[in-house]
Each structure stands twice: as C-alpha cells, then as structure tokens.
Amino acid sequence: MDNIKRVEPRTLSGFMELLPQDQIKFNEMLDIIKKTYELYGFLPEETPIIESSEVLLAKAGGETEKQIYSFKKGDKDLSLRFDLTVPLAKYVAQYYNDLTFPYRRYQIGKVFRGERAQKGRYREFYQCDIDIIGDGKLSIINDAEIPSVIYTTFKNLGFDNFIIKINNRKILNGLFDELNISEKKTEILIIIDKLEKIGMNAVKEELAKLELSKVTIDKIEEFFKIDGTTDEKIEKLSKLGFNSSVFNEGLNELKEVIKYVRLFKVNEKNFTVDLTIARGLDYYTGTVYETNLVGYESIGSICSGGRYENLAGYYTKKNLPGVGMSIGFTRLFYNLKELGLLNTSRKSISKVGIITMDTEYEEAVQISNLLRDNSIPNEIYKENSKIKSKFTYANSLDIPYVIIIGEEEKEKGLFTLKNMTTGDQKMLSSQEILDVLK
Amino acid sequence: MDNIKRVEPRTLSGFMELLPQDQIKFNEMLDIIKKTYELYGFLPEETPIIESSEVLLAKAGGETEKQIYSFKKGDKDLSLRFDLTVPLAKYVAQYYNDLTFPYRRYQIGKVFRGERAQKGRYREFYQCDIDIIGDGKLSIINDAEIPSVIYTTFKNLGFDNFIIKINNRKILNGLFDELNISEKKTEILIIIDKLEKIGMNAVKEELAKLELSKVTIDKIEEFFKIDGTTDEKIEKLSKLGFNSSVFNEGLNELKEVIKYVRLFKVNEKNFTVDLTIARGLDYYTGTVYETNLVGYESIGSICSGGRYENLAGYYTKKNLPGVGMSIGFTRLFYNLKELGLLNTSRKSISKVGIITMDTEYEEAVQISNLLRDNSIPNEIYKENSKIKSKFTYANSLDIPYVIIIGEEEKEKGLFTLKNMTTGDQKMLSSQEILDVLK
C-alpha cells in the first residue's frame, strides 16, 4: 500500500460536516422539527435531489438561476434542487389526481445553491418546509395555523425569546393603490425592506430618488411608523380610512389571522404585526411571515413564509393557492453554534458501555442483548487493551454508565454498574441493572 | 397567468418519488433502521452530497467512475457521492485526531449513480451503512456484531424469513494458495459468484477455460460442494487438512465469528456459512456477508458487507481496519412493494381530524391544541365546504378518528368523537376524548 499517491482528505468550503457530538445535536433538532410538523398532521414528502433542468427552471431566472448546480449526463440537462417549493409545485401538479386537498405536506431535505462562499452561507443546506395547498381555494384560517406551527416548533426546540412578524402583502399593495404609486411598488418595497438596517431618514432619501412627491413620502412614513401593541396597530390601520378594496381585504385577513393565532395559543410576546415585512419573492400575495431571535436580529429571519395565490402555474392550469413556511436549518444551526446558543449535547448514543477484564465476551454479549431488548442503547468495548484504555474510550465518549465484568462478577453471575458522572459503582444482577437504567 | 408557457411536470426515470401513503411507510422503515443502529450505540455521521472530484475519486476507476455524476462549478471539479464508504474514509482520515477509536458510525443518506435505467435500479438511492473502524487493529468480535445488527434490523422491520450468509475471504484465498492458483483468483471468484445462477456443471466448464487442470477443478468442486449445517460445514473445512496459513487463519476467524453470532442470539435459521460469497469489491479481506430474503433470492442481496484491512489508504498512512455493512434501501423498498411484501400503511399522519358544522373554529382550535399538547397528531378541516366534503377528506386520508363540532356540542361544551373504523360515535368531554385516544 505504500507507494500510493495520497490525496489530502478535505471537505469543500460552504459544505457543513460535523463531528459526532454536533451531529447528534443536529439530528436531535431536525427530529424535533419533524415531530412537531407531524403533530399538525402534515404528510411527509420527498422529491429527488436531481431533476430535469427544464422542469426545475421553468420559472427560475436572475440570481437564483446563476446559483444552480446544473450539468449534463448523457444527453440530459440536469439540475440539483435549489429549494423545496419548486419541487412541491411539480409534485402537486404531477400527482394532482392522487392527492387529497387541502394537501398538507412537509419536506425536510438538502437543497443546493452555488453562492459565493461566505461565513454562515452554505452551498448545501437543509430546508424544513411545510405548506398547505388548496384546490382552487384555501381558507384564511390556514394562514393562522402556520405561525402556530412556527411557535410550537421553536418552543419545542427550546427557544423562548423569538418573535414571529406577520404582515399582509395586500395591505402594502393597498397603500400603494391609495397613493397611486403602484407602478413603483417593487422599488419601494426594496427600500422599505432596509428600514430596520438604515433607518427612516435614509429610507426617505432613497424614496425621494424614485421621484415621489413629498406628500407621498410623508404618507409612506406615516404608514410605516404605525406602532404600539398588535391591537393598536390594527386599530391605527383601520383609522387610516383608505378606500382601496385591496387594502381593506388585507386588513380583514390580518385581523382574522391575528384572532386565530391567539386561539392557537401563540404567546402574545412571540408574535407581532410588522408592516415592513414584504418578503422578497414575487409570489407571495397575502399573509407573510418572518421570525427573529430577539437580541440576534443580525442573523436574519430564521423562519419565513407566506401565502401565494398560485403555486404551480408553470406546470398546470389548475389554480392551487397555498400558504407555507421554511426553516433554513443548516444556517440556523451554524448561527446557534457561533452564538453559543446550542445546549451542549451528549457525545455518545450509547447509554451504557460494557467493559470486560479479559477477552472472553460471553457475559458482555448477554447483558448487551438484554439491554438492547429493553431499548437501552449500549455497546461492548471489544479490543484487547489495557483496562485503562477501555475506560478512556468510555470517558472520551462521555458514556453515562459503564458495566464492568471481571472474575468476581463472572463467578457471582453479577455485573458492576458504574455511574460515570458520580463515580458510584455497585455489583448488581442484570434485573437490578435494568431497574436502575430504565 | 394564462399566456404562460407550461412545462410538463415529471420526475426523471431512475428517481424514486412516492405518494404520501408509501412515503409514510418508507420513512417508518428508515426510522426503524436508524433506531436499531442506535441501539448498538453507532454514532450518526453526515457527509456532504457534493465533494471535490479529486477527493472522491482518489481510488475509483472502471465501471464506478463512469457512473459518477461529475460537473464543474466555477473552476471546481465536483462529484456527487456514489457510496458512503469513500466519504467515511475521507472523514476518518480528516478528523482522525478528533475521533475516538474504535469509531462506530452509521450514515443513512442518498448516493448517486448514473447507471443505465432498468427496473428496480435507481440513480438516486438511500444507503444505510454501519461501520466500525479500528486504529491499527480491530478485534474479530466486531465481525460477529455486524450480523447481529443485520439480524435485529430485519427482525425490527418485520421480517422473519431471511438468511445472512457469512464467509471469510481468507478461506478462499487459502484454497487458491493450497491449489497454487492464486494468480487466477479474481477470474475464479467471478465464476464462482455465478454458481447459484448457472449451477456447478456450467461453473466447471468456465473454470476449464482458465486452463485449470482437472484435478484442480475437482478440488474446487469438492470445496464448493461442502454442505450441511453450519457446524458440519466448519468441520468439513477443518478436515480438508489444508496447510495454507491464510486458510487456517480464515477458518479460525470464521469459527470465532460463528461462536459470537450465536451468543448475540442471531437465530440459527437466519444465518449460514456460504463458501461461495466473495463480494465483488476488491477491498474486503476477511469476513464477508450477504443477506437474502428466502424465496426471493432473485432480488439479490438486501444487505452486504465485510471486513477490510485498510479503509483510508488513499488519504492517510494510518492503518485503519474496519468492518461494516450496507442496506440499499431504495431498491429494497421498491422490491418489497413489487412483491407485495410491504405491510399496508396508514395514509395519514393525523390520528384525529376535526370537523366543524359552521365556519367558526374556536372550539376546534381548542381541542386541537389540547390533543397536540398530549402528543396526538391531529388537524382541523378548515375549508368552508359541505359537511359531506369534510368527511370525504377524512375518509380519503383514512384518518382513524374524527371529532365533530356542531351547535349541540358547542352548547354543551362537548365534542362528538367518531371512530371511523367502527362507525361508533359518542358525545364526550375533552378529558374523555383524551382518555379514549391515549
């Protein structure tokens, strides 16, 4: 083997790869997300990572398209999925006749974007999506269920101090209708999106560059300065006296969403109405959400989504409205780790390590079988090493309990159980060990 | 939206995409595999799907290399992983100093091979791998633990009639040593591999083409005709009286593996010694395994693996012996479905569907919250449809229980719980509902 040409083992930058302790934590968190989604009855969906470029890029364009991993294999143009929404649209259009609507699904999986490498930006990352797709129509109550899922998910992940920001695109569109500036809506929303970062004065300066009148800019400022409690904001919106029917539709939807968000027992401190939230993507048409970790706003929204009028227009004539949200999990995990907000996790899956004093493993295998039959993860140390190395193994994996089998134990048919945290140890029967560990 | 150019929604051939009912089953089975692996204390590992081609293809060549999805992004040569073993080798070499040895890990994830499309062959498929990697050495008892994991996994998946075939490459190498035909070993093994398919006479004809003497061919036949119980086979092997030290080392290893496989309580009917098993891959050097579903041998091995002398020679000078196995899960799932061997599964994640007679959902949300707080997956039907449509939804998803909320229920503060299997229904308090459902 030793005139071999060796390659340096390395992982590409922008690709997350974890050591076991972090991987255990990562998987535990993903599992909590999955279980929470399932508590709401969402069905699992799994689409391929590779799709035909023609299908995947039916809509894409601009920045997104540049980031996509596309390649040829044989005569086929293939691409790696860059989100889970386009595959959802494809899936719903393709299996329309086999699905029950409203179709409620989650998908947790990796997506791929060849972005410029940058701290905390990944090229291969997990998204954890839920969506509810209606056939022709979808009740507004669904828009209130999504914040409930977000709330329960982050509570179950152990967070307390986060805030779900809720808005409705129709309210924004109505404002622009009312001010007769709808044709500049996109540019204005891009500027408003920076409000939190650059402040109102800078926003006004940028708006002025769009050749908006001072009166209009003042109206915009008045609107975006609406503050107070959730109910106060809604009252102030009602009192604007706008005639725009779109505005009033959006306001009524927002009221209904807030009413049901409360019924869903989302804590008052964990949600708010935020009129500046628009979400960049074109396809949101009603309710929109962003979620921030309070005190860590700089990491951006950790969970976003909204309502769209038509999911799958590029694949089918059927009108399929939907509402959903997505957690960018890989980035979230990275940020939590960087910020020191990850609760430390166990380093081993095994709850028990089994160590023998000699190289005969009969009793070790027997107790291992018994523990496994009782759903207690465990492993036997099977290398012929000094007893110290055996304990070093258990220690470096932080295995909580060690069972020691020596001559005396074999004679008596007993096992010594050592609690590695307290150092206590006792010679016990296998049944007594089960009682302690269960 | 309607002068849009539409693309036909479709999934590439060779890529599995399931409807919800099958996806639920698929996920349940993957979850059982994962939980079983964890019962043995294996640590989770997750490597990227995209790796640098130079790293991933350090060893590859021939057929495998042709199948690999490789492409350029910017100036980087990238490839999609085609198995989980090469990434494991990379991982262990790269993080050698951070890992505790023996390093016991599982990885469950998708791998990619651009094979010719063919029934039951997938280009994107799950592998479920476990491996135990030693630092310089690794006890033979580990080779007995792998069949135990295979056994427990398939038992937990609900199988009873499967057989784990165990052999040792050293026994085969020793045979060839003994007969002085080691230089033709690869060709001979390729022929022997076909024994089950083409029979002994055809095998002998092919061996003759390798210009082996009749005496040699007779000896080969004698060897591969060894039959009987596991113990009888081992006894017959001992009685061959071979002098080859490699042969005797292999035989001793096999004896030790069989002894411990029994201690691990693998049922006698679920394992056997099969001298014809060699495994195609070059790198197996000792114990090898294949697993068949009895009566369905034509689908091939559903779980294979073995012992290798050196995992990561292309990345490091460190000697890292290992033993492991892999389940090709996507193909297995496909075959089970084709053969009608998948137990039918539930079509819904929700255990309870909640239906209201009007469009006020206060009580619905309250009971939904309560059920969720008690870990009972449920969902509210929120569309304003006829009551019949609401039941159609619950029926087509086979939701086991429906809670109905009408005027009478609202007045009394009760809920009607209907068992959708029996048709029984009763008006109950929320606490009584919990008692029934838990």
Beta strands in A302-422 (DSSP E): 304-308, 322-328, 352-356, 378-380, 401-405, 415-419
Euclidean distance between CA atoms B174 and A297, whole angstroms: 67
Question: Which residues of A fall within a CB distance of 8 Å from B100?
Answer: 393, 396-397
Least confident of A375-379, B209-213, B352-356: B209-213
Count of A-B CB contacts under 8 Å: 268
Q: Is the pLDDT of residue A1 over 60?
A: no
Euclidean distance between CA atoms A324 and B178, whole angstroms: 68
Average pLDDT, chain B: 94
Interface check for A225 against chain B (CB to CB < 8 A): the answer is no
Contacts of B239 (CB under 8 A, 6+ apart): none
Predicted confidence band at B2 (pLDDT cuts at 50, 70, 90)?
low
Determine the pLDDT at residue A280: 66
Quote the longest CA-to-CA distance of chain B: 94
Chain B: residue whose CA lies nearest to A399: B41
Highest mean pLDDT (candidates A176-185, A336-345, B52-61, B136-145): B136-145
Residue with tokens 């809720």: A166
Euclidean distance between CA atoms A257 and A79, whole angstroms: 38
Q: Is the pLDDT of residue B398 over 90?
A: yes
In 3D, which of A104, A142, A263, A311 has the Cα closest to residue B384?
A142
Omega cis (within 30) before B102: yes
Interface check for A116 against chain B (CB to CB < 8 A): the answer is no
Contacts of B97 (CB under 8 A, 6+ apart): none
With 0-12 / 13-18 / 19 or more C-beta atoms within 10 angstroms meaning exposed / middle / buried, residue B188 is: buried
Per the rule left: phi > 0, alpha: psi between -120 and 50, beta: everything else, B413 is left
Per the rule left: phi > 0, alpha: psi between -120 and 50, beta: everything else, B375 is left
Interface check for A4 against chain B (CB to CB < 8 A): the answer is yes
Residue A365 is nearest to which of B260, B378, B393, comparing CB atoms? B260
> Could you tell me the two tokens for B71?
């492409």
Cross-chain residue pair B317–A6, CB shorter than 8 Å: yes
Q: Is the pLDDT of residue A186 over 90?
A: no
Residue B315 is nearest to which of A6, A15, A380, comparing CB atoms? A6
Beta strands in B81-169 (DSSP E): 103-112, 124-133, 162-168
Euclidean distance between CA atoms B196 and A205, whole angstroms: 81
A75-99 residue pLDDT tens: 899 999 999 999 999 999 999 999 9
A112-126 residue pLDDT tens: 999 887 888 899 999
Q: Where, residue-wise, is CATH 3.30.930.10 in chain A?
A: 11-133+310-345
Interface check for A386 against chain B (CB to CB < 8 A): the answer is no
Cross-chain residue pair A372–B45, CB shorter than 8 Å: no
- Span A11-133+310-345 CATH architecture: 2-Layer Sandwich (3.30)
Q: What is the DSSP letter of A359?
A: S
Question: What type of residue is B115?
Answer: E
- Span B13-161+295-345 CATH architecture: 2-Layer Sandwich (3.30)
Question: Which residues of B fall within a CB distance of 8 Å from A73?
Answer: 69, 114
Determine the pLDDT at residue A2: 61
B64-97 residue pLDDT tens: 788 999 999 988 999 999 999 999 999 999 999 9
In 3D, which of B218, B221, B219 has the Cα closest to residue B192?
B221
Interface check for B296 against chain A (CB to CB < 8 A): the answer is no
Average pLDDT, chain A: 94
Predicted confidence band at A281 (pLDDT cuts at 50, 70, 90)?
low
Determine the pLDDT at residue B339: 94
Interface check for A19 against chain B (CB to CB < 8 A): the answer is yes
Q: How far apart are the first and last CA of chain B?
A: 48
Rounded average pLDDT over B19-32: 97
Predicted confidence band at B283 (pLDDT cuts at 50, 70, 90)?
confident
Question: Which residues of A fall within a CB distance of 8 Å from B72?
Answer: 71
Interface check for A6 against chain B (CB to CB < 8 A): the answer is yes
Predicted confidence band at A396 (pLDDT cuts at 50, 70, 90)?
very high
Cross-chain residue pair A48–B17, CB shorter than 8 Å: yes
CA distance B139 to chain A (A): 5
Three-state SS across A194-262? CHHHHHHHHHHHHHHHCCCCHHHHHHHHHHHCCCCCHHHHHHHHHHCCCCCHHHHHHHHHHHHHHHHHH
Determine the pLDDT at residue A94: 98
> Could you tell me the two tokens for B362?
């206060």
B268-295 exposure pattern, b = at least 16 Cβ within 10 A, e = fewer: eebbbbbbbbbbeeebbbbbbbbbbbee
Q: Helix B185-192 crosses helix B169-178 at what angle (to 10 degrees)?
A: 120
Euclidean distance between CA atoms A92 and A177, whole angstroms: 34
CA dihedral A209→A211→A216→A221, nearest 10 degrees, is -10
Interface check for A71 against chain B (CB to CB < 8 A): the answer is yes
In 3D, which of B59, B82, B54 has the Cα closest to residue B282?
B59
3-state secondary structure of A25: helix
pLDDT, greater one: A348 or A185: A348
Cross-chain residue pair B6–A315, CB shorter than 8 Å: yes
Rounded average pLDDT over B165-191: 93
B414-427 residue pLDDT tens: 999 999 999 999 99
Residue A6 is nearest to which of B314, B365, B383, comparing CB atoms? B314
Interface check for B209 against chain A (CB to CB < 8 A): the answer is no
Cross-chain residue pair B94–A27, CB shorter than 8 Å: no
B106-149 residue pLDDT tens: 999 999 999 887 888 899 999 999 999 999 999 999 999 999 99
Query: DSSP string spanning A152-165?
Result: HHHHHTT--SEEEE
Euclidean distance between CA atoms B404 and A185, whole angstroms: 45
Interface check for A264 against chain B (CB to CB < 8 A): the answer is yes
What is the pTM for the complete model shown?
Answer: 0.96
A277-315 exposure pattern, b = at least 16 Cβ within 10 A, e = fewer: bbbeeebbbbbbbbbbbeeeeebbbbbbbbbbebbbbbb
Angle at A124 between CA A119 and CA A130, to 5 degrees: 110
Cross-chain residue pair B349–A44, CB shorter than 8 Å: yes
Contacts of A39 (CB under 8 A, 6+ apart): A152, B372, B375, B376, B377, B378
Chain B: residue whose CA lies nearest to A136: B383
Cross-chain residue pair B361–A260, CB shorter than 8 Å: yes
* Number of Cα atoms under 13 Å in the Cβ half of residue B207: 25
pLDDT, greater one: B186 or A382: A382
Cross-chain residue pair B139–A380, CB shorter than 8 Å: no
Rounded average pLDDT over B331-348: 92
Question: Which residues of A fall within a CB distance of 8 Å from B99?
Answer: 19-20
3-state secondary structure of A73: strand
Interface check for A365 against chain B (CB to CB < 8 A): the answer is yes
Q: Where, residue-wise, is CATH 3.40.50.800 in chain A?
A: 352-437
Determine the pLDDT at residue B193: 83
Euclidean distance between CA atoms A205 and A198, whole angstroms: 11
Q: Is the pLDDT of residue B1 over 70?
A: no
Query: DSSP string spanning B174-231?
Result: HHHHHTT-GGGHHHHHHHHTTHHHHHHHHHHHHHHHTT--HHHHHHHHHHHT--SSHH
Residue A44 near residue B349, CB atoms below 8 Å: yes
In 3D, which of B350, B355, B371, B353 has the Cα closest to residue B405?
B355
Cross-chain residue pair B141–A380, CB shorter than 8 Å: yes
Determine the pLDDT at residue A60: 67
Instruction: Centre a 10 Å sphere on the Cβ of residue A381 and count the other Cβ atoms it contains.
Output: 22
Euclidean distance between CA atoms A290 and A306, whole angstroms: 9
Q: Is the pLDDT of residue B13 over 80?
A: yes
Q: Is the pLDDT of residue A190 over 90?
A: no
Per the rule left: phi > 0, alpha: psi between -120 and 50, beta: everything else, B368 is alpha
Residue B20 is nearest to which of A43, A50, A137, comparing CB atoms? A43
Euclidean distance between CA atoms A307 and A279, whole angstroms: 11
Q: Where, residue-wise, is CATH 3.30.930.10 in chain B?
A: 13-161+295-345
Cross-chain residue pair B11–A47, CB shorter than 8 Å: yes
Euclidean distance between CA atoms B92 and B390, whole angstroms: 54
Euclidean distance between CA atoms B325 and B288, whole angstroms: 9
Euclidean distance between CA atoms B327 and B309, whole angstroms: 21
| Domain A352-437 grouped into CATH 3.30.565.10 | no
> Could you tell me the two tokens for A268?
């008052």
Question: Which residues of A fall within a CB distance of 8 Å from B54?
Answer: 7
Determine the pLDDT at residue B180: 94
Determine the pLDDT at residue A254: 98
